[in-house]
Structure 1
Amino acid sequence: MGVGRAHRIVGAASRIGPPLTFLRPRKLPQQARARATVEAIVDACAELLANGPYEALTTNSISERAGVSIGTLYEYFPNRESIVAALTAASCRRLVAALLKAARETRGMSDFEGIEHLLRSGVAALTAPKSVFCRLMLEAPFVLRLPAFHEARAALDEICQSIRIGAGDRVNLPEPQLDAWLISQMLFNAMFEIAIGWTEEAEPDVVVRELARLTFRMATGRDPRPEEMPSSPPRLLSLS
């Protein structure tokens, strides 16, 4: 794996790709039937990307997979990129929802278990079948310029800041707010690297365990004690 691949992709995305106006839907659905149609189009896009490269994606293939006419598709989306943008936004919303749910689930866990659970949930959301975000990140990096992507990063920072405040004296950060922000940005990139597929040297479960250990050390100034850690890394969650 190329170390820092996600970071390089993010940097490249700021310099390439169509203007954001090109990525907007033609109109938003107002009625339930219209919303179902748009959802079918976006889901069809995800299914095609899960089974083939981005360069093979066309509006015709999406409309055929969705079971709608090409005219209906163009009623809502002007091009394939705008459909991909809608898919990206949906994937980002699922990621944020998964992280918020995981944060609530950490209550009652040890600090290390909570960190590991949060990271596992994030990686699982990024690799869920409907996400296909990792493929888009590699093959259509313009998605990283979308507001939804930046909102997801900001949401992770808010979660980290909330955890920092809740942990109180258990956290040992010289510059608490700034350091928590830096940790959140590092974790965001690290989760993408794991989700993209760094499996050549270690299993993803093991990589997430090590990331959790390093995060714990950054936040507390010490390594977790054996009794604070499960005996073996839990398997990564599977999200549909």
Structure 2
Amino acid sequence: MPGIYRRLPAAGFGNAERGQGAKPGRPAPRSKPLKRPSQQRARFTVNAIYDAFVRIWRARGWDAVTTRAVALEAGFSVGTLYEYFPGKEALLSGYVRHTVEWLLGRIDAEVTQAVGQDWRTRVARLVAITCGADDAASGIVFDHEMLMLEARIAEPKHHRRVFDELAQAWQRALAACDDLPVMVDQATVVSLVVAVWGARRYRLLLHEAALPGDAWQEQMGRICLAALGGAPQA
């Protein structure tokens, strides 16, 4: 799966950004990893770097993310870090892509490829995964702070690409429901993804204060079940 963020010329970890005087909302310089890990050892290395990045960021804030700090926390040399990430925006970009691929992979494994599930069970799981169920327990972080940093690395076309990938994943998952009471067209799928994914992102803007997570996820499930042709079970 290709990366979603382009590379632009920029400064490295912990250095003053050359793009500080740029217009708000434009991506920060050099906001793309240099390469994607293909071998198991490389994937292990990059995942360890991501874990270290998240721990530092959440404990001490964005300004504390530096080459030395991340390398020390991950247990790798600074040179190893620079093999993949030329700067902290590139690291953020790679991590955001990692969370997207995690989401798409879970939908495929737990919904589309699941065996012996009726359509209600599949849809409930599809909604739960898209709402971020179990992300925290798996070490995946997608929160208000990350959302606030997106403008450093992403343009509208990147958001569109992620949305299209998610809509396609939903389409495949619903196509696997051979007992759906009605045929589902693309417009319905897109509308449901807008409702669930859009609500998740807006809740993050509000620091998740608008509605408790469990109640919100349950309501999203009810909406989707109703839209797909069956009244929610009591």
Q: Quick one: which of 158, 179, 186 aligns to 2:188?
A: 179
Counterpart for residue 181 of structure 2? 170
Distance in 2 between residues matched to 1:92 and 1:29, nearest whole Å: 16
- Give the superposition deviation at 1:108: 4.1
Counterpart for residue 103 of structure 2? 95
Stretch moving more, 148-157 or 64-73: 148-157
* 8 A Cα contact 1:63 1:70, kept in partner: yes
- Give the superposition deviation at 1:81: 1.0
Counterpart for residue 223 of structure 2? 214
Secondary structure of the structure 2 residue equivalent to 1:124: coil
Counterpart for residue 161 of structure 1? 171
Q: 1:100 to 1:124 in 2, by over 3 A?
A: same
1:133 and 2:142 correspond: yes
Gaps of 5+ in 2: 1-23
User: Quick one: which amino acid aligns to residue 114 of structure 1?
Assistant: R
* 8 A Cα contact 1:40 1:66, kept in partner: yes
* 8 A Cα contact 1:157 1:184, kept in partner: yes
- Give the superposition deviation at 1:158: 1.8
RMSD: 3.4
- Give the superposition deviation at 1:116: 2.0
Counterpart for residue 191 of structure 1? 200
Secondary structure of the structure 2 residue equivalent to 1:115: helix
Distance in 1 between residues matched to 2:119 and 2:42, nearest whole Å: 45
- Give the superposition deviation at 1:82: 1.0
Equivalence map 1:6-155=2 (5 Å): 15-18=25-28, 22-27=30-35, 35-104=43-112, 107-122=115-130, 123-124=132-133, 126-128=135-137, 130-134=139-143, 135-145=145-155, 150-155=160-165
User: Quick one: which amino acid aligns to residue 65 of structure 1?
Assistant: E
Distance in 1 between residues matched to 2:36 and 2:114, nearest whole Å: 37
Distance in 2 between residues matched to 1:203 and 1:30, nearest whole Å: 39
- Give the superposition deviation at 1:36: 4.2
Secondary structure of the structure 1 residue equivalent to 2:86: coil
Stretch moving more, 125-134 or 93-102: 125-134
* 8 A Cα contact 1:98 1:125, kept in partner: no
User: Quick one: which amino acid aligns to residue 228 of structure 2?
Assistant: A
User: Quick one: which amino acid aligns to residue 227 of structure 2?
Assistant: M
Q: 1:164 to 1:86 in 2, by over 3 A?
A: closer
User: TM-score with structure 1 length normalisation?
Assistant: 0.68
Q: 1:15 to 1:120 in 2, by over 3 A?
A: same
User: Quick one: which amino acid aligns to residue 159 of structure 1?
Assistant: A
Higher fraction of helix:
1
Q: 1:37 to 1:146 in 2, by over 3 A?
A: farther
Secondary structure of the structure 2 residue equivalent to 1:23: coil
- Give the superposition deviation at 1:98: 1.2
Distance in 1 between residues matched to 2:155 and 2:76, nearest whole Å: 29
- Alignment deviations for residues 141-184 of structure 1 (CA, whole Å, 9 cap, x no partner): 434449886554333212332344445761366xx222222222
Counterpart for residue 20 of structure 2? none
- Give the superposition deviation at 1:25: 2.7
Q: 1:71 to 1:111 in 2, by over 3 A?
A: closer
Stretch moving more, 115-124 or 98-107: 98-107
Distance in 1 between residues matched to 2:205 and 2:135, nearest whole Å: 9
Distance in 2 between residues matched to 1:60 and 1:119, nearest whole Å: 39
Gaps of 5+ in 1: 1-13, 227-240
Corresponding pairs, count? 208
* Identity percentage of aligned residues: 21
Distance in 2 between residues matched to 1:171 and 1:140, nearest whole Å: 38
